[in-house]
Amino acid sequence: MNENISFLIDFIREAFRGGRIFYSWMSLLTLIVLLGIFSYSRQLQEGLIVSGMSDQVSWGVYIANFTFLVGVAAAAVMLVIPSYIFNDKAIKEVVLLAEGLAVAACIMCMLFVAVDLGRPDRFWHLIPMIGEFNFPHSMLAWDVFVLTGYLFLSLTIPYYILFMRYKGAEAKHNVYFPGVVLSIGWAISIHTVTAFLLSSNVARPFWHTAILGPRFLASAFSAGPAFFLLTLQFVRRYTDYPVSPIIFRRIAIIATAALQINLFLLFAEVFTEFYHQTDHTVSAVYLFFGIGDKTALVPWIWTSLALNVAAVIILSIHPLRERDKLLNLACVMMVVGVWIEKGMGLIVPGFVPTPLGEVFEYSPTLVEVTVSAGIWAAGLMIYTLLAKAAIGIELGNVRLHSSSVPVS
Amino acid sequence: MARYVMVVDLEKCTGCQTCVVACKMWNGLGPGIQRVTVVEKEEGEYPNVRRAYIPKRCMNCKDPQCTKVCPTGATKRDDEKSVVTVDKDKCMGCRYCMMACPYNARTFYKHEQWYHEEPSAWEKKRYKEHTEGVVDKCDFCISRIDSGLKKALTPGVDPDATPMCVLSCIADALHFGDIDDPESNVSKIIEARGGFRLLPEMETDPSIYYLPKRTGNEADKS
């Protein structure tokens, strides 16, 4: 037990130790988090009336970020599979960082759900075993269940591996491997359940399609690894941790293949919607072309498509992908493109027009934007701290008995 | 067990919004929250244009989507009185039900506010039943039905056991009663004039019947 406590103390100490760049970065994030808290306090005081959501468009940018981030959380599995199942030595070097990103993404997801509630004081209803669940009927109840489980797995497996390394021992394969296998299935499930949460609704034809689940996975496995790759560039630049070029190549190939599949699925969806238009196509028409003068989402979705297509072109051509700068650019485009496509471009048109044909548009208010930014900053902060401490332990800088903390 | 339904006569509705106001008064609803809306639509092409009014409220479906998706079980169907209710103490305001409802019939109480600086005694009393941050909707004035049934009154016939909007309608366009009773007012009206329900393909078995305009297309052609 004492070893665990000294591990945690050393872990936190390592997480918060750093130079000028580290503290500037953390200060910037803290500032954004504080801004988010300030905005959220206004929302708490005045209610969701400070948001742009209405009775017609009852979910907005909060849930849009939620769906995107569930994907980022699930995407860690694309590194877990090669490293633990196929024993890919290169990927194994960074898999713990990917799991750290999954933890941060899970926490961001939960925060986004929490800030979307009208009565956040009743959030405890969603805590398994304590709250009252409409289980197994409600997909939201399932979502909370799988997200909590995934967070638990993403915390415990790296904890065990890092703890063993901290003690200078070898992590036992038999101990963590069952957890790894479980977490692979679990990662797929968190994103499938989120897709089912939307696609199970017959009232919203835009989402009521069996392809939504596969689309969610494909977009997650492109944007997630791309985001992770970008963070690895910072790790390579600002830490002593050796990130070999082969890792970037592998992750880029994973993201490329997933993005190709994602674009194909999107094309399949668009073709089916538009080949012969019915009443159910109206939401897609609104998204891509607008209805009358209501065109709020049109620039967004075309920007997203342009970014994704440009990214897939760069990534599919080997000589272009091999260039670091172009690879980074493609990853940024992919992350932003997918963020729009399955965020605002997916959640909002589901509500427009209403079943009776009324067109009400939605755009987020400043409060919603700053609260969202605050949650993103909090997530990046968590990821930075977890990654920093994990790197310190992996490099062997932090070891049991070597620290100044007395172990009794 | 009764199956209470509402009948909306589109022929008679003038779009005056009295039902909206009566509902707001009876339930003490502040600004921004509305259980009944009258959707206005333009029909036809010039010169045969006219305006259609479709009063819309919760359909109190027999097989609703909203009760399935609610994560806490706050929204439930009361099979005894055949209405769907929201438990204001359990709802956490996630609005999943609003997304699932094919009729867009639910409303979200975003912010406690009043038409005057202070709520009236009546508004204060009713506010407890639909507090800020939760989802709200029409429940066919279940409290009126309840108290009426206790006095052995017949919902839809005796005013004290009838939803407030039905009582207030200036054109007699709204009717309420038990459709399982073949002798009830609503059964007779539906038998005589037919009637349709919105989005039957959703298989939600809604409890509101609309009577089409009698003149219908013939009027447009002439």
Say whether B136 sits in a helix, a strand or coil.
strand
In this prediction, residue A123 carries a pLDDT of 84
Contact call for residues A281 and A269 (beta carbons, < 8 A): no
Pairing of strands B208-211, B4-9: parallel
Q: Which residues of A touch B111 (CB under 8 A)?
A: 46-49
pLDDT grade for B218, boundaries at 50, 70 and 90: very low
Contact call for residues A348 and A356 (beta carbons, < 8 A): no
Nearest-CA distance from A12 to chain B in Å? 35
- List the structure tokens of A235: 């790790």
Q: A47, A152, A155: which is closest to A99 by C-alpha?
A: A155
Chain B interface includes A139 (CB < 8 A): yes
Greatest Cα pair distance, chain A, in angstroms, is 74
- CATH code that applies to domain A2-394: 1.20.1630.10
Residue of chain A minimizing CA distance to B99: A58
**Domain spans, chain A:** 2-394
Q: Which residues pair with B126 in a beta bridge?
A: none
Token pair 């399609």 is found at A209
Per-residue pLDDT at B219 exceeds 60: no
pLDDT grade for B222, boundaries at 50, 70 and 90: very low
In this prediction, residue B44 carries a pLDDT of 87
- From chain A residues 215-244, the ones with a CB under 8 A of any chain B CB are none
Packing angle of the helix pair A139-167, A61-75 (nearest 10 deg): 40
Percent of chain A clearing pLDDT 90 (strictly above): 89
Nearest-CA distance from B132 to chain A in Å? 7
Q: Which residues of B touch A126 (CB under 8 A)?
A: 71-72, 92
Which of B39, B96, B107 shows the shortest C-beta gap to A55? Answer: B107
Packing angle of the helix pair A324-342, A245-275 (nearest 10 deg): 40
Say whether A189 sits in a helix, a strand or coil.
helix
Interface test with B, best of A42, A55, A135, A196 (most B CBs within 10 A): A55
Contact call for residues B113 and B31 (beta carbons, < 8 A): yes
Nearest-CA distance from B69 to chain A in Å? 4
- From chain A residues 40-59, the ones with a CB under 8 A of any chain B CB are 46-49, 51, 53, 55-56, 58-59
Chain B interface includes A114 (CB < 8 A): no
Q: Please tell me the distance from the alpha carbon of residue B107 to that of residue B32, in angstroms, as a whole number.
A: 9
In this prediction, residue A401 carries a pLDDT of 78
Q: Please tell me the distance from the alpha carbon of residue A356 to that of residue B52, in angstroms, as a whole number.
A: 13
Contact call for residues B151 and B68 (beta carbons, < 8 A): no
- From chain B residues 123-142, the ones with a CB under 8 A of any chain A CB are 132-135
Q: Which residues of A touch B106 (CB under 8 A)?
A: 55
Per-residue pLDDT at B200 exceeds 80: yes
Nearest-CA distance from B92 to chain A in Å? 5
Q: How far apart are the first and last CA of chain B?
A: 47
In this prediction, residue B127 carries a pLDDT of 86
Q: Which residues of B touch A53 (CB under 8 A)?
A: 95, 108
What kind and span of H or E run contains A304?
helix A298-316
Contact call for residues A369 and A62 (beta carbons, < 8 A): no
In this prediction, residue A358 carries a pLDDT of 86
B132 contact partners, CB below 8 Å, separation of at least 6: A47, A118, B109, B110, B111, B112
Write the DSSP string, A121-146: GGGGGGSTTTS---TTT-HHHHHHHH
Query: Which amino acid is located at A98 in the chain?
Result: A
In this prediction, residue A402 carries a pLDDT of 67
> Tell me: the pLDDT tens digits for B136-166?
999 999 999 999 999 999 999 999 999 999 9
Task: Give pLDDT tens digits along chain A (408 positions).
Answer: 689 999 999 999 999 999 999 999 999 999 999 999 999 999 999 999 999 999 999 999 999 999 999 999 999 999 999 999 999 999 999 999 999 999 999 999 999 999 999 999 988 887 767 777 888 899 998 998 899 999 999 999 999 999 999 999 999 999 999 999 999 999 999 999 999 999 999 999 999 999 999 999 999 999 999 999 999 999 999 999 999 999 999 999 999 999 999 999 999 999 999 999 998 999 999 999 999 999 999 999 999 999 999 999 999 999 999 999 999 999 999 999 999 999 999 999 999 998 878 899 999 999 999 999 999 999 999 999 999 999 999 998 888 876 544 444
Q: Please tell me the distance from the alpha carbon of residue B194 to that of residue B212, in angstroms, as a whole number.
A: 8
Chain A interface includes B102 (CB < 8 A): yes
Helix, strand, coil fractions of chain B, as percent rounded to 5 = 25, 20, 55
Interface test with A, best of B43, B54, B72 (most A CBs within 10 A): B72
Q: Please tell me the distance from the alpha carbon of residue B99 to that of residue A56, in angstroms, as a whole number.
A: 9
Which of B69, B73, B133 shows the shortest C-beta gap to A47? Answer: B133
Q: Which residues of A touch B70 (CB under 8 A)?
A: 134, 138
Q: Please tell me the distance from the alpha carbon of residue A254 to that of residue A334, in angstroms, as a whole number.
A: 13
Chain A, chain B: beta-carbon pairs less than 8 Å apart = 122
CA-CA distances (angstroms) from residue A284 to A222, B103, B131? 23, 19, 36
* Mean pLDDT computed over every residue of chain B: 91
Q: Give this complex's ipTM.
A: 0.91
Cβ A356–B32 below 8 Å, yes or no? no
Look at the domain B4-216 and name its fold: Alpha-Beta Plaits (3.30.70)
> Tell me: the pLDDT tens digits for B36-95?
999 888 888 899 998 889 999 999 999 999 999 999 999 999 998 889 999 998 999 999
Q: Which residues of A touch B32 (CB under 8 A)?
A: 49
Q: Which ranges of A76-211 does DSSP label H, i.e. alpha helix?
A: 77-80, 89-92, 95-116, 139-167, 173-199
b/e per residue, A155-188, with b = 16+ CB within 10 A?
Answer: bebbbebbbebbeeeeeeeeebeebbeebbebbb
Predicted TM-score of the model (pTM):
0.94
Residue of chain B minimizing CA distance to A122: B92
**Domain spans, chain B:** 4-216
In this prediction, residue A21 carries a pLDDT of 94
